[in-house]
Amino acid sequence: MVRDGREIVSSIVASQVALHAPHGGVVPELAARAHLECIGPTVDAALAALPGGWDDVDALSVTRGPGLVGCLVVGAAWAQAAALARGLPIVGVSHLAGHVYSAWLSQAGFEPPFLALVASGGHTECVLLREHGDAVRLAGTRDDAVGEAFDKVARLLGLPYPGGPAVERAARDGDAARFPLPRTRLEGAFSYSGLKTAVRYAVRDLGESGLTRGGTPADPEVVAALAASFQAAAVDQLVDGLEAAVERTGAERVAVVGGVAANGALRTAVNERLRGLTVVVPPMSLCTDNAAMIGAAGWHRLQRRGGEAGFGVDPSLDEYA
Ligand code: KG4
Ligand code: ZN
């Protein structure tokens, strides 16, 4: 729940980590069902922060694509029903625009134009927000997204779901130089499947004696070293791509957003390598998926374009602003 787009009145996250952990990754069907079960209680918890409850709500903002369509449909249907029942305007907001706006939300005075690196489980993109409502994609996701690579590498190393934080923890004590891994640098795109495959081969090359029965490295030092080497390469690729976009655009303000922006090594690297620029990396609670960022982006969209005609939110519409 946000007031005037900016002030976070409440931000309730219904985590599905425990649901998906036994499967080692998100199971889309389970995710959609859990959305349906959680959405009512989650909205109620968010509304509890308002003295008048629904009576104090002026408008609704709901996430549309890109994302898991089953989950998006649940959210869009629920929010549209609520908007109709309460006679409130509703806006559909791009999931990725939401991430971009987490930077605007987290720092007063951080206004467009700014360049944003969106690093999440499904996307690795550089976006220039020229002004509110006017975004250009400069570099997109070629194959695996960076967060997806963290999650897959965690599995290869026998680390628990969710993979990003687990790899980061394991990497802390690891020797990043022990297993040199390649970096993929492309013009106008980010690719992580090559790096993930390089980790797969490094694990395979340990041979039977170096592996558990489940096929993951048996030696915790090897796990730590591979995690550290992967993280270093993944972060390098991200910051390289971001630097290229900075050069191309001459941007002076840069944001790093999305779930992977919670990664400490990335946060440090960005601040070191982009010294001299204004760099905003939101607090961790605004990096991973959250409602506040969708509220902030929706507030801007509502100012500019008003609510959706006929309450129609298309959950599959992939349009940035
Ligand atoms: O933005 P997000 O919450 O959901 C999507 O839009 O995908 O991002 C989730 C992704 C997952 O792939 C997760 O492993 C990654 O963000 N992630 C991290 C960290 N925390 C979450 N990756 C690296 N280091 C972290 N500390
Ligand atoms: Zn996200």
pLDDT in tens, 167-196: 999 999 999 999 999 999 999 999 999 999
Task: Give the Cα separation of 62 and 47 in Å (integer).
Answer: 15
The closest residue, in CA terms, to atom 7 on ligand 1 is 121
CB 50 within 8 A of CB 1: yes
Q: From 94, 123, 146, 288, give the residue whose CB has the most ligand 1 atoms within 8 Å, as the site to mutate.
A: 288
Residue 319 has pLDDT above 80, yes or no: no
- State the pLDDT confidence band at 321, using cuts at 50, 70 and 90: low
pLDDT in tens, 237-284: 999 999 999 999 999 999 999 999 999 999 999 999 999 999 999 999
Give me ligand 1 centre to Cα 102, in Å.
Answer: 14
Average pLDDT for residues 76-82, to the nearest whole number?
Answer: 95
* Residues ≥6 apart with Cβ < 8 Å to 298: 59, 60, 61, 62, 91, 93
Q: Determine the residue type at 128.
A: L
* Residues ≥6 apart with Cβ < 8 Å to 214: 158
Q: What is the pLDDT of residue 91?
A: 95
Helix (H) or strand (E) holding 136: strand 134-141
- Packing angle, helices 163-171 and 146-156, rounded to 10: 70
* Residues ≥6 apart with Cβ < 8 Å to 15: none
Q: What is the pLDDT of residue 156?
A: 97
Ligand nearest to the CA of 261: 1
Task: Record the pTM.
Answer: 0.95
- State the pLDDT confidence band at 25, using cuts at 50, 70 and 90: confident
Give me ligand 1 centre to Cα 301, in Å.
Answer: 26
Average pLDDT for residues 291-312, to the nearest whole number?
Answer: 91
Share of the chain above pLDDT 90, in %: 93
pLDDT in tens, 157-167: 999 999 999 99
Residue 320 has pLDDT above 80, yes or no: no
Q: From 260, 286, 293, give the residue whose CB has the most ligand 1 atoms within 8 Å, as the site to mutate.
A: 260
Q: From 148, 150, 196, 267, give the residue whose CB has the most ligand 1 atoms within 8 Å, as the site to mutate.
A: 150
Q: What is the pLDDT of residue 262?
A: 97
Local structure of 31: helix, strand or coil: helix
* Residues ≥6 apart with Cβ < 8 Å to 10: 1, 45, 46, 47, 48, 49
Give me ligand 1 centre to Cα 28, in Å.
Answer: 16
Residue 316 has pLDDT above 90, yes or no: no
Q: Between 73 and 313, name the one with better pLDDT.
A: 73
Give me ligand 2 centre to Cα 279, in Å.
Answer: 20
Residue 302 has pLDDT above 80, yes or no: yes
| Cis geometry, peptide bond prior to residue 66 (ω within 30 degrees of 0) | yes
Average pLDDT for residues 9-37, to the nearest whole number?
Answer: 94
Give me ligand 1 centre to Cα 87, in Å.
Answer: 36
pLDDT in tens, 97-151: 999 999 999 999 999 999 999 999 999 999 999 999 899 999 999 999 999 999 9
The closest residue, in CA terms, to atom 1 on ligand 1 is 259
Local structure of 108: helix, strand or coil: coil
- State the pLDDT confidence band at 213, using cuts at 50, 70 and 90: very high
- State the pLDDT confidence band at 44, using cuts at 50, 70 and 90: very high
Residues with CB under 6 A from ligand 1: 120-122, 147-148, 150-151, 162-165, 168, 258-260, 262-263, 288-289
Give me ligand 2 centre to Cα 164, in Å.
Answer: 13
Residue 29 has pLDDT above 90, yes or no: yes
Indicate the average pLDDT of the chain.
95
- State the pLDDT confidence band at 317, using cuts at 50, 70 and 90: confident
The closest residue, in CA terms, to atom 14 on ligand 1 is 164
Residue 23 has pLDDT above 70, yes or no: yes
Give me ligand 2 centre to Cα 259, in Å.
Answer: 6
Chain centroid, CA 90 distance in Å: 23
